[in-house]
Chain A
């Protein structure tokens, strides 16, 4: 039996482990943290559950790709998928534009809304969405007639045409440009730097309909872990991998603090720039190690986790997320004026899990893009971070809450701050390099990172390889496992049959 060790228990690690065990591998998963799940993990403060990385996703409608993959993995029946209703939206206030605009999760509804506000831009709006639909039709995950192998090959080379090229060819209206670029917040690359295909791989889903899962990312992690247990896969937690063992250019196992573990294959799911230090220099060429180390990263986030008590519940928060954004093509640039750029999600309103002492509080989170450099001065080891770090986090949280209150009257009545996360938190809890929430940038200026490496039996997976986010990381597992077994086409056919 071929033995595989999977490093990292986020959605790509767990999905890869499951697909491998289904294909006859003896699989073990190694997670550095005390609990499995990576960014799917839900943490609790004052008996209120908070999601770190899973807020909403596309691809979960009937016949859609993530639903099919989850059905193939056997977790479809173990979770409750909650579609955003028709009126659900990302409600965007654009700097300098008088009214908030609803970016609905539907091609038709968002088109209607934009035509209502920008009737003179009709031609450009229609052209924009038609182009996105056309590009989506060339992506095998959305048009299953398209051959997968050719598409994956084309990803290795940078794209020639950007999202900004498309938007500026459709409209010069700054507020409209912002709304059209909104999905960049789900991959973290600026419109001028993201290739149109890579952008569409995220944006198309958003225009097809968004979903959340009852009990958040934890429900997905728990379902995957249950199926893995049934399949005999061991998930080791508090088990940081120190080294990947190789001999004559091939993997022989891994070394953890508690001992060595033999393996024929190792799947590495954290940020690829962490790989070079874990493999002896004989295996990987200097040029490759340097390329991984120099990968340009996505933005980080500063997050305020809070709650609203029962008496002050606000139904406006249930199926609408609220944004304040700068005009034209500036997002997702980190900025130190939180009033210019933030987003808010009342994720606790969508959940059946009780929260707070009476079980009726609702979790609300507010996020803003952040730079690693903002938090870096406080990086003196988790135990040595002095009061200055707490004071900085408190003042940033206050500024963010005030910014929301100033922009969205009454939205946060009864809100109390419970916890915060900074770029350092992402680095420490999720091993995100420089706190980058979407891993390396999938930009037009940067070559792709494939599943295969020069060390035989050493494979990469995760959102820095194929695509970002819940969907991107899940699909990266599919592609990595397909490369490992040499039967990607068969695996892909089996997933398609689950549609």
Chain B
């Protein structure tokens, strides 16, 4: 999946699950200030993204640096790469 496709899917998750307006969901949009999410939404966001992308967010630490939707895309890409390289090291 390309970065662009991945971002489109992030937009879809936010539009559907968080019932946000699609035109708000730009890469620069900040989660907390512009999209109105709060600490209570953080867990739901992780759950929704895990379900959609099959990635595991292991701790709160990695979420701290996430401010915008683009940051979120970077985080998912990083986790995905980590998972892929682990799979290559330990083929099932």
- A447 touching B46, Cβ below 8 Å: yes
- B40 touching A156, Cβ below 8 Å: no
Closest A residue, CB atoms, query B39? A452
Give the one of B16, B18, B44, B58 with max A CB within 10 A: B44
Q: Is B6 an interface residue (CB 8 A)?
A: no
- B40 touching A454, Cβ below 8 Å: yes
Residues of chain A contacted by B77 (CB below 8 angstroms): none
- B58 touching A285, Cβ below 8 Å: no
Q: Is A290 an interface residue (CB 8 A)?
A: yes
- A285 touching B43, Cβ below 8 Å: no
- A286 touching B47, Cβ below 8 Å: no
- B19 touching A447, Cβ below 8 Å: no
0 or 1 for each of B30-50: is its CB under 8 Å from A? (1 = yes): 000000000011011111100
Across the interface, A291 reaches (CB within 8 A) one of B19, B44, B59, namely B44
Residues of chain A contacted by B58 (CB below 8 angstroms): 157, 160
Q: How far apart are B87's CB and chain A's nearest CB, in angstroms?
A: 19
- A286 touching B19, Cβ below 8 Å: yes
Across the interface, B41 reaches (CB within 8 A) one of A157, A285, A448, namely A285
Residues of chain A contacted by B19 (CB below 8 angstroms): 285-286
A447 and B16 in contact, given A157-B59, A157-B60, A160-B58 (Cβ under 8 angstroms): no
- A287 touching B60, Cβ below 8 Å: no
Bound together, the chains give a CA A287 to CA B43 distance in angstroms of: 10
Bound together, the chains give a CA A291 to CA B18 distance in angstroms of: 12
Q: How far apart are A454's CB and chain B's nearest CB, in angstroms?
A: 6
Bound together, the chains give a CA A290 to CA B59 distance in angstroms of: 22
Chain B interface mostly: helix
Residues of chain B contacted by A287 (CB below 8 angstroms): 17-18, 41, 44-45, 47-48
Q: How far apart are A37's CB and chain B's nearest CB, in angstroms?
A: 32
Bound together, the chains give a CA A450 to CA B40 distance in angstroms of: 9
Q: Which of B63-87 contact A (CB under 8 A)?
A: none
Q: How far apart are B28's CB and chain A's nearest CB, in angstroms?
A: 22
Residues of chain B contacted by A280 (CB below 8 angstroms): none
Give the one of A288, A452, A453 with max B CB within 10 A: A288
Closest A residue, CB atoms, query B59? A157
Residues of B in contact with A, size category: 10 to 19
Q: How far apart are B39's CB and chain A's nearest CB, in angstroms?
A: 9
Bound together, the chains give a CA A286 to CA B18 distance in angstroms of: 6
Q: How far apart are B15's CB and chain A's nearest CB, in angstroms?
A: 10
0 or 1 for each of A6-28: is its CB under 8 Å from B? (1 = yes): 00000000000000000000000
Residues of chain A contacted by B46 (CB below 8 angstroms): 447
- B16 touching A291, Cβ below 8 Å: no
- A448 touching B18, Cβ below 8 Å: no
Residues of chain A contacted by B44 (CB below 8 angstroms): 285, 287-288, 291
Closest B residue, CB atoms, query A154? B60
Residues of chain B contacted by A452 (CB below 8 angstroms): 40
Q: How far apart are A462's CB and chain B's nearest CB, in angstroms?
A: 18
Residues of chain A contacted by B59 (CB below 8 angstroms): 157
Q: How far apart are A295's CB and chain B's nearest CB, in angstroms?
A: 11
Q: How far apart are B29's CB and chain A's nearest CB, in angstroms?
A: 17
A453 and B47 in contact, given A157-B59, A285-B19, A290-B17 (Cβ under 8 angstroms): no
Bound together, the chains give a CA A453 to CA B45 distance in angstroms of: 15
Residues of chain B contacted by A450 (CB below 8 angstroms): 40, 43
Q: How far apart are B24's CB and chain A's nearest CB, in angstroms?
A: 15
Bound together, the chains give a CA A452 to CA B18 distance in angstroms of: 18
Residues of chain A contacted by B60 (CB below 8 angstroms): 153, 156-157
Bound together, the chains give a CA A369 to CA B44 distance in angstroms of: 31
0 or 1 for each of A143-156: is its CB under 8 Å from B? (1 = yes): 00000000001001
Closest A residue, CB atoms, query B58? A160
- A286 touching B16, Cβ below 8 Å: yes
A and B contact pairs by CB, cutoff 8 A, 26 listed: A153-B60, A156-B43, A157-B59, A157-B60, A285-B17, A285-B18, A285-B19, A285-B41, A285-B44, A286-B16, A286-B19, A287-B17, A287-B44, A287-B45, A287-B47, A287-B48, A288-B41, A288-B44, A291-B44, A291-B47, A447-B46, A447-B47, A448-B43, A450-B40, A453-B40, A454-B41
9 interchain residue pairs of minimum CB distance:
A287-B17, A287-B44, A447-B43, A288-B44, A287-B48, A291-B47, A286-B17, A286-B19, A447-B47
